[in-house]
Structure formats: structure tokens, C-alpha cells
Amino acid sequence: MTRYEYAKEKYAKLGIDTDAAMNRLMSVPIALHCWQGDDVRGFDQKSDGPLTGGIQTTGNYPGKARTPEELMADIDKVLSLCPGTKKLNLHACYAIFDEENGGWVDRDKIEPKHFKKWVDFCKERGLGCDFNPTFFSHPMCDPLTLASPNEETRRFWIEHGKACIRISQYLAEELGEVCVMNIWTGDGFKDIPADRKGPRERYRDSIDQILSEPYDFNKVKPCVESKVFGIGVEAYTVGSAEFSLCYAAANMDKCIPLMDNGHYHPTEVVSDKIPALLTFFPEIALHVTRPIRWDSDHVVLLDDETKEICKEIVRSGGLDGRVYIALDYFDASINRISAWTVGLRNVQKALLMALLEPSDDLRAMQDADNWTELMVRAEEAKTLPFGDVWEEYCRRAGVAADGEWFENVKKYEKEILSKRG
């Protein structure tokens, strides 16, 4: 008997079908964020300005991608090391300008052709692609964008948002998969504002204008991502939780809410918010990250909240196309390929664990007010031979098991990353 066969029996005794769980997970798309590979830099700025918008990468581990080709090669390496269905997640600042497509244009003028190379990349690998307008790290941030009182600034960023809707529609059509387009800005204030409503009214109007650009809501899913605060904008965030959720609720036919689990007060948990939102919204989107004390965007670990988030996705029927899952972190202090791979494999692990939960039984115990047995069973489920199922899942997906992939990353670092200036 193999270790997997033994594990399969153990789970079967609890009524859990490990083969069905693996098959289910294999087709769930998870969006891989391109920005872990180059510390959220992108390629569209002529001079190398600072990362703005209240987000921060810390560390300067060698080997970050400097060109689209390097970033693509790095993403390929990650894809080869992770099981399951992947999607790419691009930011507008990763536009590729060259002689053939007419050279550089500013963000209000970007077009689908600037993402043609990414489309080719995705097509060759059978990937879908999500998209994000980039409302930061640009001279037109004054520092506000969509909430700016300066009409010229606001117009520029609305045009950027509209251009991104057109690009998202193009990505969805070319790749034949839904494109989730996330609207997030770092708009906010360092200190106590005198007017909290004005910026929000302008923000609302700006998003209205962006979403007035035509798109097929079956293919393009614009999202509004909320936030609690950012670096340098500690006192007030325009796109707060209430603002963003109300915007999405009032515009259910046009957009969906996006929750990033780094964007709440430290004792709030997104796991609990998932079923709350799914009670009302047909679809929601997530940025899975790891906050340490603040929105620090550390690599996702297999920690309690990641597991709990994945349980709620599975229990709420989120895998049936109701929850769009994306990663969002950027650690510049460690090998970036490894950072990406650990985080993506961990989300896969947490989802597989959730699929291997005896959830029907546990729910029945809850409904029967049988909290004693629920505790016993839930605790016992934690030491089932999960590792053997995970190893089998990796084998079936044709990727290296735990303990085997890191050698591959070390080799890539030695041969490729270490040669980058």
C-alpha cells in the first residue's frame, strides 16, 4: 500500500473522497500577480521614480526582473513549480512599448496593442489574464488620482481607467476567460482632513465614469478594492471599506467588491467577511496576502487565517465561479521566485485542506447544537495525513513535491538571477 492509498482510506472513513477533492482543485484558477517579480516597478516609466500610493517593498535581494523578457522567464519558472490552474495578473504599468507598436505613450493613452506580447505569452501557456489600472508611481499623482480636486488630474486618471476597461475586454476576448479588473487607488491623507465627503464624491463619480466605458460584464469583472490606510496616508482613505462595499452594492450590475486581507484592522478577518458578502453578492474577488501588524504584503504562509479563508471559499460555494482568487504580495528581501512559489503553493494547499474537510458532518453537528463533537472532530481532522494527499496532487499535476522544488530555484538563481546587474 502506498502512502497515498493509506491516506485515501483514512479520509474515506470520514466520508471524504480525496480523488474528487484533487480533481476539483485542479481546475480552480488562481491569479499570479506579475508584480512580485520586480518589486511593483513595471516598465512604463521613463525615469525610475519611487513606488507611491502608500505601498512599500522592502529589501533588495538580487535578481529582480528588469525587462519583460526576464519577468516572463521568471513567471515561467514559477508556473512550472506550482500545481493547479493558473492565471496571470497584470498591472497597466507592465505595458510593453516597442518600435512595432509605436513606442511609448502615457497611461491615459495605453491600448490593447501594448499588451499583445502578454496575450501571446498567455496563449502559449493556456492562461487567462486579470488586469489592474495603475493609479500610483506616476507624475500625475498629485498625490490624489481619482479623488483629486484638480480636474485635469482626475480626467487623466479617469481616461486611464477607461483605457484599462478596453484592455480588459481585449484580454478576456483573446484568452476566452474572464478578466477581473481591479480598481484600487492609494488616495488618502496623512493627516486629519477638513473634508471627508468631497473626495469620496469625486471618487464615486470617477469610478462611474470609468465604468461607463462599454464592456461585457460576463467577461470583464471590474472590482473596487477597499483599504484602511497606507504609508503616508495614515489618517484617511478615500476608498474605505464602507465606501467600496457600498459602491459595489449600489452597482451590482457593473462591478464586484474586492477584499484584500491586508486591508482591515488587525482583529478583523476576511474569512468571516466572505460568507457575509456572498449572502448578497453573486460574485466577489479576493487578494490573498499576509499582513504583519499592517498591510505589509508578506508572502502567504499556510497559517490559520489563510486556511480559514480557503475553508470559507469552499464552504460558501466559492469555487463554483463565485470567488475570484488572486495573490497580492511583494517581498523584495528574499528570492522572488521562491516567494511567488511558496505563496501560490500555500493557497493551493489551503484550498485542498478545505476540500478535505468533513464539512457536511461538521455543519450537521452545528445545526444540532452539538458543539462538543464538532470540536472533537474538527480538531482530529487537523492531523489527518494531508501531506500524502498533497504529494499525490503535485505528482498528478506534474510538479515537484515539497522538498524537491527549491533545488530548482537555487539552480535558477545561480545560473540566471545572479547574473542580473
Task: Name the one range near Zn ion by CB under 5 A: 34-42, 264-272, 321-329, 366-374.
Answer: 321-329
Contact call for residue 225 and ligand RNT (CB under 6 A) = yes
**What's the helix, strand, coil split of the chain in %, to 5?**
45, 15, 40
Phi first, then psi, for residue 230 (nearest 5°) are: -135, 175
Q: Are 217 and 254 in contact (CB under 8 A)?
A: yes
From CA 37, how far away is CA 111, in angstroms rounded? 23
Maximum Cα–Cα distance across the chain: 70
C-alpha–C-alpha distance, residues 153 and 43, integer Å: 22
How far apart are the C-alpha atoms of 164 and 166, rounded to whole Å? 5
Q: What distance in Å separates the CA atoms of residue 162 and residue 152, rounded to the nearest whole number?
A: 15
Of 174, 328, 357, 392, which one interacts with Zn ion (CB under 5 A)?
328
Distance of CA 178 to the CA centre of its chain: 14
Supply angle C-alpha 228, 108, 252, rounded to 5: 50
Residues 349 to 408 in contact with ligand RNT, rule: CB under 6 A: none
Binding Zn ion by CB under 5 A: which of 41, 138, 204, 287? 287
Catalytic residue, candidates 8, 114, 227, 307:
227
Residues in contact with ligand RNT, counted by CB under 6 A, come to a total of 11
Catalytic residue among 39, 74, 260, 331: 260
| Residue 328 known to be catalytic | yes
Can 19 be counted among the known catalytic residues? no
Residue with cell 497559517: 303
From the list 177, 260, 283, 331, which residue makes contact with ligand RNT (rule: CB under 6 A)?
260
Catalytic residue among 35, 118, 157, 184: 184
Q: Which of 328, 331, 357, 392 is catalytic?
A: 328
Site for ligand RNT in 168-207 (CB under 6 A): 184
Smaller CB separation from ligand RNT, 225 or 392: 225
260 labelled catalytic: yes
Query: Please, which residue, 35 or 412, has the CB nearer to ligand RNT?
Result: 35
- Residues numbered 273-292 forming contacts with ligand RNT, rule: CB under 6 A: 287
Element (H, E) at 263: none
Distance separating alpha carbons of residues 266 and 390, to the nearest angstrom:
31
Q: Report the interface residues with ligand RNT, using CB under 6 A.
A: 35, 40, 55, 132, 184, 225, 227, 260, 287, 295, 328
Q: Report the interface residues with Zn ion, using CB under 5 A.
A: 260, 287, 328
Active site amino acids: 184, 225, 227, 260, 263, 287, 295, 297, 328
